[in-house]
Amino acid sequence: MIKFFYLDIHGRCSRKIYWLIGVLPFIFIGILLGYMSVAFNIQNIELPLYFMLAVTIWPITAMQIKRLHDINLSGWFCLITWVPYVGTVFIILLGIIPSFKHDNKYGKYLFTNKQTQPDK
């Protein structure tokens, strides 16, 4: 499960999975790291932040690529996140844009329940 969500760039992930597994845990880690630096009186906050960036860069990118696949876009669009200010808006938009409701070249449609599938 961890390999699929955080290490593999193939497949698709829904908005719910993107927020619950792809964004919120990393926000929580960042907040926790900030509190720990205050609690342990770490003067140089940049070192823990660089460490967090080095550890989380690939899992975050993998989740963004799968989310882009879910909305039927190439994973290369994840490079937009490196543009200051625009990247933050882009991350939020990834979590808002609805899934592509059919199978695409990146994988099958995630919902198989007949009530949630659109008419063909």
> Is there a contact between 66 and 11 (Cβ–Cβ < 8 Å)?
yes
pLDDT attached to residue 27: 85
Q: What is the pTM of this model?
A: 0.75
Structural domains in the chain (count):
1
Alpha carbons 67 and 58: distance in angstroms, whole number: 14
Residue 3 inside a domain? The answer is: no
Per-residue pLDDT of the chain (120 residues; tens, 9 = 90+): 666 667 888 888 888 888 888 888 888 888 887 788 788 887 777 777 788 788 888 888 988 998 999 898 898 999 999 999 999 999 999 999 988 888 888 777 766 555 444 544
Residue 108 inside a domain? The answer is: no
State the residue range of the domain holding 36. 8-96
> Is there a contact between 28 and 44 (Cβ–Cβ < 8 Å)?
no
Residue 114 inside a domain? The answer is: no
pLDDT attached to residue 4: 66
Residue 112 inside a domain? The answer is: no
DSSP states of 40-107: TT-S-THHHHHHHHHHHHHHHHHHHHHHHHHTT--GGGGGGGGSTTHHHHHHHHHHHSPPPSS-BTTB
Residue 62 inside a domain? The answer is: yes
pLDDT attached to residue 25: 85
